[in-house]
Amino acid sequence: MKIEAVETFLVHAGAPGETAWSGNTGTKAGGMSMGTTRHWLFVRVTVEGGLTGVGEGSGWPRVVETAVNDLAPLLIGQDARHIEKLWGMMHLATMSHGQVGTVGGGAVGAVDMALWDIKGKALGVPVHELLGGKVRDSLPAYAHASTPEKARKAWDMGYRAFKSGNVKGTVEKVAALRKELGPQADLMVDLHGPPWLTVGDAIAMGRALEPFDLMFLEEPLPPENLEGYGRVRDAVALPLAAGERHSSNLWSAAPLIQRGLIDVVQPDSGRCGGITQFRKIAALAESHFVQVAPHAGTLGPVAEFAALHSMSAIPNAMVLEKFATDWEGRYQVVTQEPQMKDGRMVVPDAPGLGVDLNLDEVRKYPGGHNASIPNTVSYADGTQEEYVYVQPRWQRTTAFGHERD
C-alpha cells in the first residue's frame, strides 16, 4: 500500500450561528469562527490501486496546508499501513522548524487521520474497531448558547448540555441559562481571552460561578500560565478543563495532566497530531483519572468524524462539542453527516472514518484570508486597540456578578 499522492483542499467556511464571535464580520473584531476567516483544511491521501483516505488539519488551516505540502514528498512511496512509523517520521521532519506547535500538530495529524481512514477501508472495518472497539454506541454532545432563547432552541433539538463563553457578563449569562433550563441541564463556561484573566480574577470568576454547579470551567487562564492553573485549582470548587491550545501532541498535553491541573483535557482532533496522538493523550488522561472532552469549535466535518471514532473507543470520554446550527455548507462538502439522536452523536460503523469529500462542493469555497484579530468586546472601554494579552477586570462590582441595590 504505497502512498502515491497527498492532496490538500482549503475550504472557506461560513460562521456558525451560536457563538458571540460569529456575528463579527470585520477583520478587526472577529474571531476564529467568523464568516470572513473560518477555514477548513482537508487532506486526501491516495495509495496504489486508487484507495483514498481523508483527514483534516486545523490550528491555522492556510498555514497547515503549506506544511502538509512540504511533508508530502517525504510520504510518497511509503507504506500507508505503517501509521506509527510515519507519524514519527513526520514529527522528526518538523524538528528543524522548532516543532511548530499547532501548525505541526495540524499538518502531521491531517495525514495521520487519512492513514487511519485508509487502513479501515482496506480492512473493511470502521476506525473505532482498529482502536480496540466501541465502548459506547453514541456520545453526548453539548451546544453553544449565549442566551436563554438559543439554549431553549437547542434543548428542543435534544441537547441537554450547553456552553457559554466570553469573560464579559459571564455570571449573568450563566444565571439566565440556569433559570431557563433548570437543574436538569449541564452547563459549562469558557473563559478564554482576549483578554485573558489574571490569576486573581480567574479565582474570583470561578468562585462567582460555583453556585451554578458547572460541568467544567474551561481555560480560566492563558495556556502559558501553568503555575496559575495550580492556584486556580486550589481555590475554586469547580472541575477545570483545558488543552485545546496545549495539545499539539502527547508531550505538549502531558504537563496539564501529570501535574493535576485539570479534570478534563480538551485535545482538538484537527491539531493534536491526529488519531495516533489523540488516543495517547486519552490514555495518559485515564491514568490520572482525567476525562476527555475534545475541542471542536472551529473544526470541519472530517475531524468531527475522527473525534467521534476516537471518543467511542476510550473509557474516559465525557462529551463532544457541536454547533447545533452551523454554516449551511458544513455537510455539503462531505458525503455524510453524523447522525444525532436525543442530543447524542451516533458512532458510525462504515469502513474507515465513514465520510469522504464532495469535491464538487469543496471547490465552490476556495480558501482566502485566514487571519483575524479576535473579538475585542471584552476589553475595558478605551483599551480595545491596545491589543494586550492579559488584562485585569475593571468595574469589579459587576464583573463577578456582585452588583447590589
Instruction: Give catalytic status of residue 144 as yes or no.
Output: no
Instruction: Verify that 217 and 105 share a domain, yes or no.
Output: no
Instruction: Verify that 36 and 172 share a domain, yes or no.
Output: no
The pLDDT of residue 266 is: 98
Q: What is the pLDDT of residues 249-295, one digit of tens each?
A: 999 999 999 999 999 999 999 999 999 999 999 999 999 999 999 99
Give domain status of residue 394, yes or no.
no
- What CATH number has the domain bearing residue 251? 3.20.20.120
Instruction: Verify that 43 and 167 share a domain, yes or no.
Output: no
Catalytic residue among 91, 192, 246, 309: 192
Instruction: Verify that 340 and 240 share a domain, yes or no.
Output: yes
Instruction: Verify that 217 and 343 share a domain, yes or no.
Output: yes
Give domain status of residue 162, yes or no.
yes
**How confident is residue 349, by pLDDT bands cut at 50, 70 and 90?**
very high
- For residues 130 and 132, what is the distance between their CA atoms, to the nearest angstrom? 6
Grid cell 437543574 is found at 183
The pLDDT of residue 34 is: 52
Give domain status of residue 322, yes or no.
yes
| pLDDT at 25 exceeding the cut of 50 | no
- What CATH number has the domain bearing residue 40? 3.30.390.10
Give domain status of residue 384, yes or no.
no
Give domain status of residue 324, yes or no.
yes
**How confident is residue 298, by pLDDT bands cut at 50, 70 and 90?**
confident
SS3 4: strand
| Domain count along the chain | 2
E-assigned strands of 288-405?
291-292, 320-321, 340-341, 344-346
Instruction: Give catalytic status of residue 12 as yes or no.
Output: no
**Alpha helices, H only, 83-198:** 83-93, 101-123, 127-130, 148-156, 170-181
Q: How far is the first Cα of the chain from the last one, in angstroms, to the nearest whole number?
A: 72
Give domain status of residue 383, yes or no.
no
Instruction: Verify that 73 and 165 share a domain, yes or no.
Output: no
| pLDDT at 27 exceeding the cut of 90 | no
Instruction: Verify that 165 and 298 share a domain, yes or no.
Output: yes
Q: What is the pLDDT of residues 94-119, one digit of tens each?
A: 988 887 788 999 999 999 999 999 99
Region 52-66 average pLDDT: 96
Joined grid coordinates for residue 127 = 476506525
Give domain status of residue 260, yes or no.
yes
Instruction: Verify that 61 and 192 share a domain, yes or no.
Output: no
- For residues 248 and 66, what is the distance between their CA atoms, to the nearest angstrom? 17
| pLDDT at 93 exceeding the cut of 70 | yes
Give domain status of residue 399, yes or no.
no
Instruction: Verify that 56 and 179 share a domain, yes or no.
Output: no
Instruction: Verify that 139 and 107 share a domain, yes or no.
Output: no
**How confident is residue 182, by pLDDT bands cut at 50, 70 and 90?**
very high
The pLDDT of residue 24 is: 44
- For residues 292 and 267, what is the distance between their CA atoms, to the nearest angstrom? 8
Instruction: Verify that 94 and 44 share a domain, yes or no.
Output: yes
Range of the domain at 103: 3-126
DSSP 50: S
Catalytic residue among 91, 246, 295, 309: 295
Instruction: Verify that 27 and 174 share a domain, yes or no.
Output: no
